[in-house]
Amino acid sequence: MSTRRRTTDDGTPLAQLERAVESALKTAKVARRHKLGLGGNNFYANKLVELRADATNAFRDLASGSVGDTSALAELIEGVFSPATNYGERGAKAKELNYALRTTWREGTPAAKVAADSEGLFPLSLLAKTKLGYLTSVGLQMNGCYASEWYDASAVMMRRLIEIAIIEAFERKGIAAKITGPDGNYVQLTELINRALAETAWTLGRNTKKYLPQLRDVGHMSAHGRYFHAQKGDIDRVRPGCRVVVEEFLRHAGLL
């Protein structure tokens, strides 16, 4: 019996992504014909989930462009592969995505540094499982900046990813009021971390408690330090902590 070829054996990441887009459109078309939704539990919904994972992995392997290009492409990928996108909008997003792949990204080749560092600072495959496009977009930018040696930018995006993960945990536990200030807005990151460490709705692991202040300090220095410029070593020292902290809070949020 023949087996389906995996996309990892099937050409360049650019070609893999183009094929995933084409397959997503075909899947949506057939599902519509059979009057089946893409957000439920059926063959077409499951197929779209597989295609979304393939597209995320293929994009991760593309050469890093500018942060703006990376963010824009991530949003288009989310639009094409999200089950919530309506039929007409999916087609429009697919056209935009294909245009970007055939112009801005046409010269892209797998980046040696991305290949060497594989998942960057945090695995995009895990962020994709949350089904939250804004998390994936932030992760793509963070990893892309790290691979491009833009270490201050990477630290700032890492700071943002940690902040989002903590807020998601508070919100999905129904205790967002605990991180809300008198003005009705969420507190700043330093106080957010203090409250996360003191929260009794969860029990944080030893490494999360250890790394949270370190991650905060690197992010603060890169964002606000007038004379500080992060080096690779600064990021590499907290790289294991990024993985531990973000994943733990996403799990407390029930997103993984």
Per-residue pLDDT reduced to its tens digit, 105-124:
765 443 434 433 445 799 88
68, 81, 234 from 89: Cα distances, Å: 22, 11, 42
How far is residue 186's CA from residue 145's CA, in Å, rounded to a whole number?
27
13, 16, 79, 97, 100 from 20: Cα distances, Å: 10, 6, 13, 11, 15
Q: How many CB atoms lie within 10 A of CB 83?
A: 17
Question: Which of these, 79, 230, 54, 55, lies nearest to 145 by C-alpha position?
Answer: 230
How far is residue 214's CA from residue 242's CA, in Å, rounded to a whole number?
10
Whole-number pLDDT of residue 69 = 58
How far is residue 92's CA from residue 185's CA, in Å, rounded to a whole number?
35
* Mean local confidence (pLDDT), 170-183: 96
Whole-number pLDDT of residue 119 = 59
Whole-number pLDDT of residue 109 = 42
Whole-number pLDDT of residue 15 = 86
Per-residue pLDDT reduced to its tens digit, 206-235:
999 999 999 999 999 999 999 999 999 999
Per-residue pLDDT reduced to its tens digit, 154-167:
999 999 999 999 99
Domain ranges of the chain: 1-110, 117-256
What CATH number should be reported for the domain whose range is 117-256? 1.20.120
How far is residue 107's CA from residue 101's CA, in Å, rounded to a whole number?
9
Whole-number pLDDT of residue 43 = 92
Single-letter amino acid, residue 142: M
How far is residue 107's CA from residue 14's CA, in Å, rounded to a whole number?
9
Contacting residues for 118 by C-beta, under 8 A, at least 6 apart: none
Question: Which of these, 64, 56, 58, lies nearest to 111 by C-alpha position?
Answer: 64
Most confident of 8-17, 34-43, 71-80, 203-212: 203-212
